[in-house]
């Protein structure tokens, strides 16, 4: 018997050409039943000899390499389907598609947050770190922190980002405008912040303060533009009075302003309005004129688009802004809860879309607010899960007609109703500090005077009419800053 040398393969592992010899011999053997005995003997001897040769080849030949097999029968990898991407390219996508030309050869800092991502959902931090001819050397964080986990109005400290090892300078602590020391060594500061379309949401204020600090320090600002989630055509609510400018109202625009953050940056750079916020920034016109601003526009976005039409995934911009629906509610309900007993949300769900009032049932709330005949909305009963795991009743505000809907109208009827339902007019008993807080959020001295004096008798409709007329004028004047049709 032939014993295979050590390392030889068993018969089942023979290469195909040797197995073929054996198979042919076996086939001939099957045919032998129809032949003569002499032919059968000859074929049998031949078959045995063939088997012996095949076995001998298996014992002595070298294994065939995998490369030889693939060379004989190459395998063509399947072509993956084309990547399906959102129709809108964000500023960061355009920057990368253009080969990072705007930041080539520069040391850059980045002011961003968790929602600062490209259309694939990749953080702008990581996109800029792979830019071949520039170097990301520092990060900057505004309200809610770099990753959007901090509560509103809470100051944050400088830190180090554990994911990248980069220094993170806080622009929502002792300073809101970056100091020359914080900008030292930078050629440019890149800003990628997602706004929600309402004036009191502070990321546009963070952008403006960063713009001021950079202009004073001679550092270029590059704004990566993003959509206004409410679109670029909806403008509504009280314009900001000049003496009420603050960090929660840095631009003298209607409450729902209809601009992207890049367009607001253009307004700050080129408008006749002073770059000034009391106790925060005061940039001389000559310094502003010399300041260098670059806005990287989006591609594929138009003013008629609301967030769902962009195809982009909404990334929470703050703990209370987890969804696009919350951004719609912020404009509609936020001011309605200012300095009174109205609350937004139902339990811990539906932030800025659910509303409730102490000692009032959902049916009572719906009946009372429906009587005002506010266009474009519908109030429905809704339950929400509370922190204790129990369901709580409330009212959910639906937007049923976008064109008829005036975002802030509900809020002012909520304030009127709060005065009617309270034993004392809550707006008439505010302290000086509380009055200031109310006024800088709403933006109108005239409205505060009326609601505090007249309470439940205030004529909301007359203010809505006035603000609507002024919004039309503003929208026409702001066209010069538009980047999109």
pLDDT tens digits, 281-331? 999 999 999 999 999 999 999 999 999 999 999 999 999 999 999 999 999
Q: What is the pLDDT of residue 210?
A: 98
**Intrachain domains 91-225+260-301 and 323-459 with the same fold:** no
Residue 45 confidence (pLDDT) above 90:
no
Can you read off the two tokens belonging to residue 321? Answer: 């802004």
Q: Please write down the long-range contacts of 2-5, taking CB distance under 8 Å and 24 or more positions apart.
A: 2/52, 2/55, 2/56, 2/59, 4/58, 4/59, 5/59, 5/60
Place of tokens 């030292």: 184
pLDDT tens digits, 178-195? 999 999 999 999 999 999
Q: What are phi and psi of 189, to 5 degrees?
A: -110, 120
Q: Between 39 and 165, name the one with better pLDDT.
A: 165
User: Where does the pLDDT of residue 273 fall: very low under 50, low under 70, confident under 90, or very high at 90 and above?
Assistant: confident
Count CA within 13 A, CB hemisphere, residue 39. 9
**Residue 383 CB burial class (10 angstroms; 0-12, 13-18, ≥19):** middle
Beta bridge partners of 108: 136, 188
Domain boundaries, the chain: 11-65, 91-225+260-301, 323-459
Domain covering 91-225+260-301, topology: Rossmann fold (3.40.50)
Can you read off the two tokens belonging to residue 232? Answer: 């670029």
Domain covering 323-459, topology: 3.90.1150
Per-residue pLDDT, averaged over 333-354, amounts to: 97
Q: What is the pLDDT of residue 77?
A: 67
Place of tokens 């982009």: 312
Can you read off the two tokens belonging to residue 193? Answer: 């912040």
Q: With H, G, I as helix, E, B as strand and everything else as coil, classify residue 89.
A: strand
Cβ neighbors of 414 (< 8 A, separation 6 or more) are 333, 336, 337, 340, 342, 355, 369
The predicted model scores a pTM of 0.83
């Amino acid at each position: 018997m032939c014993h295979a040398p050590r390392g030889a393969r068993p018969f089942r592992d023979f290469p195909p050409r040797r197995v073929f010899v054996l198979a042919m011999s076996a086939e001939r053997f099957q045919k032998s039943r129809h032949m003569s005995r002499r032919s059968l003997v000859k074929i049998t001897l031949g078959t045995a000899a063939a088997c012996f040769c095949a076995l001998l080849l298996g014992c002595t030949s070298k294994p065939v390499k995998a490369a030889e097999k693939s060379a004989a029968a190459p395998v063509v990898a399947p072509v993956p389907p084309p990547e399906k991407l959102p129709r809108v390219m964000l500023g960061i996508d355009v920057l990368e598609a253009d080969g990072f030309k705007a930041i080539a050869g520069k040391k850059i800092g980045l002011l961003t947050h968790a929602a600062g991502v490209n259309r694939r959902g990749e953080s702008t931090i990581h996109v800029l770190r792979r830019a071949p001819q520039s170097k990301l050397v520092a990060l900057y964080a505004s309200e809610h922190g770099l990753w959007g986990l901090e509560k509103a109005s809470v100051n944050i400290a400088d830190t180090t980002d554990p994911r990248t090892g980069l220094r993170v300078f806080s622009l929502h602590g002792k300073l809101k405008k970056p100091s020359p020391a914080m900008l030292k060594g930078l050629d440019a500061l890149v800003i990628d912040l997602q706004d929600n379309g309402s004036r009191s949401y502070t990321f546009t204020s963070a952008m403006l303060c960063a713009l001021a600090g950079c202009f004073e320090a001679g550092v270029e600002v590059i704004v990566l533009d993003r959509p206004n989630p409410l679109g670029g055509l909806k403008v509504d609510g009280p314009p900001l009075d000049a003496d009420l400018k603050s960090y929660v109202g840095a631009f003298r625009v209607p409450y729902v302003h209809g601009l992207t953050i890049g367009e607001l940056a253009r307004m700050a750079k080129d408008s006749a309005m002073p770059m000034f916020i009391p106790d925060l920034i005061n940039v001389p016109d000559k310094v502003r004129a010399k300041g260098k601003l670059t806005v990287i526009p989006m591609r594929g976005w138009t003013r008629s688009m609301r967030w769902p039409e962009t195809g982009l995934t909404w990334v929470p911009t703050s703990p209370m802004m987890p969804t696009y629906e919350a951004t719609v509610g912020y404009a509609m309900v936020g001011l309605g809860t200012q300095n009174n007993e109205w609350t937004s949300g139902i339990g811990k769900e539906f932030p800025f879309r659910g509303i409730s009032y102490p000692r009032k049932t959902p049916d009572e709330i719906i009946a009372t607010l429906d009587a005002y005949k506010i266009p474009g909305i519908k109030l429905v009963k809704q339950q929400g899960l509370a922190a204790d795991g129990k369901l709580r009743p409330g009212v959910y505000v639906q937007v049923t007609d976008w064109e008829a809907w005036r975002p802030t109208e509900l809020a002012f009827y909520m304030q009127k109703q709060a005065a009617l339902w309270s034993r004392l007019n809550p707006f008439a008993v505010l302290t000086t500090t509380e009055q200031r807080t109310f006024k800088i959020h709403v933006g109108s001295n005239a409205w505060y005077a009326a609601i505090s004096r007249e309470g439940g008798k205030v004529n909301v409709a007359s203010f809505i009419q006035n603000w609507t007329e002024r919004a039309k004028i503003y929208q026409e004047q702001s066209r010069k800053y538009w980047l999109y049709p």
